[in-house]
Structure 1
Amino acid sequence: MAGTAHPAGASQGLARGLAAERDGYRLNLVTCSPPAGRPTAFRFTVTGPGGSPVTDFAVHQTKKLHFYAIRSDLTGFQHLHPDMADDGTWTADLAALAPGTWRLYADFIPNTGARATELVLSRTVTVPGEAVPVPLPAPSDSTTVDGYTVTLQARPMAGAHQLVATIGQDGRPVTDLQPYLDSYAHLSAFHESDQALAHLHPANPVNGDHGGPTLTFQALFAEPGDWRVHLQFQTAGKLHTAEFTLHVD
């Protein structure tokens, strides 16, 4: 029998977190219609190859599961670490969602021994009400958040590429970054056209509360175009999220 043809980019789509099911694991939503304008205890399960909810997850980046939410216009970014009940039901405490279509991602490693691999699955939900799209900000190599200035030094291209971020405050380099998820920063990026996800961590070794000012990432952007980037870092116990639009050639 001839092999089944796969459309161009199908395997890449799986790898970019755009599929609800991969390698026998499936993201199932218990909460299917979150309300607009108020916080939501969003519930979901991950089922395994046998069809039952998975309850054994490996710890990666200090958590058993990372949960992301973003609207179709790449606004409203949330990065959460939900709790799991004994039956495998996860609960993510989402902040209020604006009306529109949202993509929700679960990033995890099933605890299946030496062959365990990281999976990112996602599904979309519709929040009721009139959606008012927000235009994507123009690409920029610098932004400010909470008094910090974050500057990117890169000419990123699709595929593997080095991305360097520098953090300063009042014209001085910041050298007191604290570990966050086992590193000095966490970077999540979403592609404008299809919401493909890329998430990165700096290669800098962790040495207590002495991170910065420069963070070097081995970036892997699956495709060219505009990406909305969220760089999260922590100082004095407070988490900061710097946002950029980054153009990838």
Structure 2
Amino acid sequence: MPGMDHMAAGNGLADNKDGYRLTGKDTTLAAGKPTGYRFTVTGPDKKPVTSFAVDQTKRMHFYAIRSDLTGFQHLHPTMAADGTWTADLAALAPGSWRMFASFTPDTGAGKDTALVLSRTATVPGTASKTPLPAAGKTAEVDGYTVTVKGEPMAGMEHPMTVTVTKDGKPVTDLQPYLDTYAHLTAFHEGDTAFAHLHPITKVDGDHGGPELSFNAELPTSGNWRLFLQFQTGGKLHTAALTLSVG
């Protein structure tokens, strides 16, 4: 489906699919300081997978999100020769976290099949839940304003547009980031179900924007927390907003 990937992988809430399994010993992570999260993907033969296809310039995309949909991190971990990956996480707040690995095997039974698997981890300490911000269509980050247009319906493909402005003026200097002008990840309130969208807008040099078009398909109704990442002047910006899906 144009403008959408990983839909075949489902909502990412399982640690196994089609014989592939996300494994790791890191069930507890330190609070308040950078930490490495180690994991391995095993295949149907129970052996570590070491061959992965490149997707948006990377062989592995890794996401961390706390249960209240705060603390979003999108990383590109490194793999050792034995198939062990390490994601270098920034400091984590106490609470329950879900770690997502998004990848496509380059060999074996799952070759060319996009998968998203996840495991949970606990960060010890006193966890204070942050209420989910109210649903809206705009978000501010680093002086930029991001505006979403469209009314996605659960389980249906629906056009959605994101417009980027600064000081009330259209932004036209978006730079390619991971082979696109924006990277959009969404998590569902309550269960942290995962969805990943990217623009269908053609990339043509360092002058993307102000409008980015998506074919959005969010599988279930309710509130989704969207994290839009875009780049200008070599700096990555992450805007977050809550989208209500009927």
Alignment TM class, shorter chain as reference:
over 0.9
Match of 2:165 in 1: 168
Q: CA deviation at 1:30?
A: 3.2
Match of 1:78 in 2: 73
Q: CA deviation at 1:32?
A: 2.2
For the aligned residues, what is the CA RMSD? Answer: 1.5
Match of 1:102 in 2: 97
CA deviation digits over 1:173-196, x for unaligned, max 9? 001100011100000000002111
What is the DSSP-based 3-state SS (H/G/I as helix, E as strand, rest coil) of the residue aligned with 2:130? coil
What is the DSSP-based 3-state SS (H/G/I as helix, E as strand, rest coil) of the residue aligned with 1:37? coil
Match of 1:67 in 2: 62
Q: CA deviation at 1:155?
A: 1.2
CA distance in structure 2 between the aligned counterparts of 1:26 and 1:115, rounded to whole angstroms: 15
Rate the CA distance shift 1:247–1:205 in 2: closer, same or farther, 3 A: same
Check whether the contact 2:26–2:121 (CA below 8 A) recurs between aligned residues.
Answer: no
Check whether the contact 2:9–2:115 (CA below 8 A) recurs between aligned residues.
Answer: no
1:145 aligns with one of 123, 131, 141: 141
Partner amino acid, structure 1, of 2:17: R
**Within 5 Å, which residues of 2 pair with 1:183-194?**
183-194=180-191
CA distance in structure 2 between the aligned counterparts of 1:13 and 1:112, rounded to whole angstroms: 18
Match of 1:133 in 2: 129
Check whether the contact 1:30–1:45 (CA below 8 A) recurs between aligned residues.
Answer: no
1:239 aligns with one of 233, 236, 239: 236
Check whether the contact 2:139–2:240 (CA below 8 A) recurs between aligned residues.
Answer: yes
Partner amino acid, structure 2, of 1:38: K
**Within 5 Å, which residues of 2 pair with 1:48-63?**
48-63=43-58
Q: Which runs of 5+ in 2 are unaligned?
A: 1-6
Rate the CA distance shift 1:177–1:13 in 2: closer, same or farther, 3 A: closer
Partner amino acid, structure 1, of 2:53: A
Check whether the contact 2:8–2:114 (CA below 8 A) recurs between aligned residues.
Answer: no
Q: CA deviation at 1:234?
A: 0.3
So what's the TM-score if we normalise by structure 2?
Answer: 0.94
Check whether the contact 1:13–1:19 (CA below 8 A) recurs between aligned residues.
Answer: no
Identity %: 63
Check whether the contact 2:152–2:217 (CA below 8 A) recurs between aligned residues.
Answer: no
Q: CA deviation at 1:89?
A: 0.5
Match of 2:117 in 1: 121
Match of 1:87 in 2: 82
Q: CA deviation at 1:220?
A: 1.1
Check whether the contact 2:77–2:85 (CA below 8 A) recurs between aligned residues.
Answer: yes
CA distance in structure 1 between the aligned counterparts of 2:182 and 2:8, rounded to whole angstroms: 26
Which of structures 1 and 2 has the larger relative contact order (alpha carbons within 8 angstroms, sep 6+)?
A: 2
CA distance in structure 2 between the aligned counterparts of 1:115 and 1:69, rounded to whole angstroms: 25
Q: Which runs of 5+ in 1 are unaligned?
A: 1-11
Q: CA deviation at 1:14?
A: 6.3
CA distance in structure 2 between the aligned counterparts of 1:224 and 1:151, rounded to whole angstroms: 21
Structure 1 segments, 4+ long, off by >3 Å, are none
Q: CA deviation at 1:70?
A: 0.3
Check whether the contact 2:105–2:111 (CA below 8 A) recurs between aligned residues.
Answer: no
Check whether the contact 1:13–1:196 (CA below 8 A) recurs between aligned residues.
Answer: no
Q: CA deviation at 1:156?
A: 1.6
Partner amino acid, structure 1, of 2:133: P
